[in-house]
Amino acid sequence: MSLKGPSPQHHEGSALRIAIVHARWNETIIEPLVAGAKEKLLACGVKESNIVVQSCPGSWELPIAVQRLFSASQIQNTATGGPSATDLLASSTTDLTSLPGSSASSAGAFDAIIAVGVLIKGETMHFEYIAESTCQGLMRVQLDTGVPVILGVLTVLNDEQAKARAGVEGKGHNHGEDWGLAAVEMGVKRKE
């Protein structure tokens, strides 16, 4: 067993509704990552009709693209004693069918969201600023809503590292699969 990666658990996802929100930069890496995540969602019993896939321009936009899945009233920090995110989301009036690229058949709560982006270091400090802000933003959205947001943002130093983490060209391991499994586990545990 690899030194890295979580020890495997099996969770049944047939009752879950999951969103995958992905950036469109470095799409030759994004595509296998999203496919790997979706493959594991389906393998865990998540219904195809309960998987909503949306995109945004780049990783910088991921936090707001994830947050807009919730209406303003749902962006509550449950630590303040407000209604739980579950209660709020259950009454969600978000019309997902109006969102671009949405395959949602109806509005409804998400049990987990996977945010997918690929940041590849260039010559400038742009990479560092986007990576830090995007990760902090995604952490804030999940804590504000109580809905797990799986961090599917690769922050790599070169194309080879990106390919190895998407399992392309027969190299490495597709991390998208790990994110799909994490989404099912966290979605199930959130309903417990």
By CB under 6 A, residue 89 contacts ligand LMZ: no
Closest approach of Cβ 43 to ligand LMZ, in Å? 27
By CB under 6 A, residue 54 contacts ligand LMZ: no
By CB under 6 A, residue 61 contacts ligand LMZ: yes
Close Cβ partners of 7 (under 8 Å, ≥ 6 residues apart): none
Q: Which of 10, 11, 22, 126 is catalytic?
A: 126
Which position among 77, 82, 84, 126 is part of the footprint of ligand LMZ (CB under 6 A)? 126
By CB under 6 A, residue 58 contacts ligand LMZ: yes
Cα 96 from Cα 65, distance rounded (Å): 12
Of 49 and 136, the one with the shorter C-beta distance to ligand LMZ is 136
In the sheet that 112-120 helps form, which strands lie side by side, from edge to edge?
A: 51-56, 18-23, 112-120, 149-156
Cα 69 from Cα 55, distance rounded (Å): 12
123 — alpha (psi -120 to 50), left (phi > 0) or beta? Answer: alpha
By CB under 6 A, residue 117 contacts ligand LMZ: yes
Report residue 14: phi and psi, to 5°: -65, -20
By CB under 6 A, residue 146 contacts ligand LMZ: no
By CB under 6 A, residue 119 contacts ligand LMZ: yes
Cα 80 from Cα 126, distance rounded (Å): 35
Closest approach of Cβ 24 to ligand LMZ, in Å? 8
In the complex, the residues that contact ligand LMZ under the rule CB under 6 A are 23, 25-26, 57-61, 117-120, 126, 130
